[in-house]
Amino acid sequence: MKIFLYCSLSILFAWLVHLIIWRIALPRKHTKCLMVIFISVLAITSSVGFVSPVFRLTWTQFFHISVFYIPVMLAYICFYSAVEENSPSLGLIALTAQKRECKFEDYLEIINDTLLTDSRLPAMIRDGLLIKVGGYYQLTPKGWRIGKLFNTTTSFFKFSDAG
């Protein structure tokens, strides 16, 4: 129970740090910033636990805390990334939740080409995956590596319409 409480409080503390930073100034690279926040909180709270006379941690307890904390951290970051972007699927769910029931035409009102590109292209430029040259978008070396990895992975698993 001690480890679960320690993990839960550490995750809550990381989430509060996340909220405070986002309220002050939105970071340029959200995922990287979230990783830094969560790893820093784990390092700080564990360091305090190693020297605290009240709540002393052993290396075994630290290992158990890490086994719980790191997957929760990664799940939160994945969840945040999904909520952060303008996802067509989440948009359909949100619209249906708002209206209780929808016709097919209702969905067509919110799903359009600009929904798919308006938020994604600037984010890809911001993250260093694309550059805009003379009205055309081009992959950066980082973008090429990710594209090659994506294409190799989809070929390996024989996905026909990936992405």
Residue labelled with tokens 């839960």: 8
- Give strand pairing partners of 137: 132
pLDDT digits (tens, 9 = 90+) for 24-39: 988 888 889 999 999 9
Looking at per-residue pLDDT, the higher value among 116 and 156 belongs to 156
- Per-residue pLDDT for 44 more than 70? yes
Let me know how many helices (H) and strands (E) the chain has, helices first: 8, 2
Among residues 22, 44, 47, the alpha carbon closest in space to that of 34 is found at 22
| Threshold 0.95, pTM exceeds | no
Q: What is the pLDDT of residue 83?
A: 67
Least confident stretch, 36-45, 106-115, 130-139: 106-115
Q: How confident is the model at residue 87 (pLDDT cuts 50, 70, 90)?
A: low
As to burial, measured by CB atoms within 10 angstroms (0-12 exposed, 13-18 middle, 19+ buried), residue 72 is middle
Residues above pLDDT 90, as percent of the chain: 27
